[in-house]
Structure 1
């Protein structure tokens, strides 16, 4: 027997039962867009030296500005090392005047309980992504993919000191030079140059190239 929706509504109304409220849950994409100014994301990635030693790199990125911070690299990501990285991150954010409310991370066992506690003391809520759901931390995952492709996959890493030097150069390149489509082709730490509108100036561009890491990274700018 089929019952019309209007019949069900009349029965519920006579029984004094109100209609079910509309769902008000916020989607993950909506949360990321609305809270971008207050979100940072963290993740580990691995690389190897020429001698075969495995090193672990911890980095964070700001969702709104795409600024990246390399927190360190180590062969032994112990609870104490990761906790100290969290303390350094909190101090760095305070010095930069960044008001952060959320930190997104995965469920990697390298994060100790103290890591979340240190961030909680600084009024930062740790949001863990779902199991095997890297798209929940897509901005961080995308940066790791780019870093792997442009640095460890194209560079012979001698040791931990060499890796940290290369990562610092890549961090400066990413934050000060590279334009990002997610922020209208701007750069995290440097404003975009003024556009050139004079046709004569466009015909006489004086572009200089600056190499980082012996030519692994190239930067191009118009000389004044």
Structure 2
């Protein structure tokens, strides 16, 4: 747990070199407690200001904004609840790698028992912070939960403050590798246009596929 928390602080405090050799840590279930509990109240200093790290889902039930596709999405929601209720000590392995796609660094975590079931990605930048959770069902992408904060000022600006910035949450639901529904807490659950969903499907599947390849890279 100390290793994981230390990584969080380092990522916020320094700009990682993109040419740096990939570091990988396999966390054994007997050596850690639940990291989702441990980061819930983590505060770190950004320009001398307390900043909350976005929370991973733990023991959460998906929000049903309306009855649209309720029955169709039942398995997706049940699977989301099942996976996010697994404490870290009950995973067979958790593999972490540096993931430097933003200015202040990032980390990707792969959660597996008999097979890969969840991927989380944290990215920190000068003007935002983002957490993305990918959930698999029958070895296929099932649910994606994206959370981010956009800062009004860069973190190096003396007027930086995160207190008034709203956390945006976006949920994407997949059935047989197809994006069938997406909800954003900024639009009160209103359905998106089909053309927009197609573009979002391409984006999310590309990002997910990149993470799968990255897991298998040296």
Structure number, greater radius of gyration: 1
More helix by share: 1
Regarding TM over 0.5, the answer is no
- State the TM-score, normalized to the length of structure 1: 0.23
- State the TM-score, normalized to the length of structure 2: 0.23
More strand by share: 2
